[in-house]
Amino acid sequence: MSARATMRNVEAHCQDEGLRLTPIRRRVLELILTADKPVKAYDLLDQLKLERPKAAPPTIYRALEFLLAHHFIHRIETLNAFVSCVHPEHPHEGQFLICNRCHQVVELEDQKLNDRLSKAAQSEGFTPSHQVLEIYGCCDDCSDN
């Protein structure tokens, strides 16, 4: 889905749910949508400061919290970075394929896999609160090099 289409979906969802997509939240999402790889919070802050010199870390972190809470973005745990969500129209747990070389991220959404992992955890007496599955390897573009 294009960045523009994703933004339209997010705007529609916010309007339907009565959520405030403030100018800062919108701009942070735009920066994540247009990034070619996962982006860290302080890199977002640096970009935002070019437009809003008084932006501070809490500004970014509050925007990221909102975007994460409403499933518009995902946090790549091992990279401590953020990517846009491929399916922002519905909450889900994603699986991520991450290239070791170029750090490109591909989001998968396999509900059967999520269910199997949850059942396996529950069979061990563990109740998961959320899942983040990150698989590292080499993408097609980098494997050709």
What's the CA gap between 72 and 94, in Å, rounded? 12
DSSP character at residue 36: S
What mean pLDDT is predicted for residues 53-59?
94
The sign of the dihedral angle between the CA atoms of 50, 52, 56, 62 is negative
Q: Which phi and psi angles does 50 have, rounded to 5°? A: -65, -30
**Domains, the chain, ranges and CATH?**
3-84 (1.10.10.10), 95-143 (3.30.1490.190)
Collapsed DSSP state (helix, strand, coil) of residue 141? helix
CB count, 10 Å around CB of 28? Answer: 29
What mean pLDDT is predicted for residues 33-53?
95
Q: How confident is the model at residue 136 (pLDDT cuts 50, 70, 90)?
A: very high
Q: Which phi and psi angles does 138 have, rounded to 5°? A: -130, 125
Tens digits of residue pLDDT in 77-121: 999 999 998 776 666 777 999 999 998 999 888 889 988 998 999
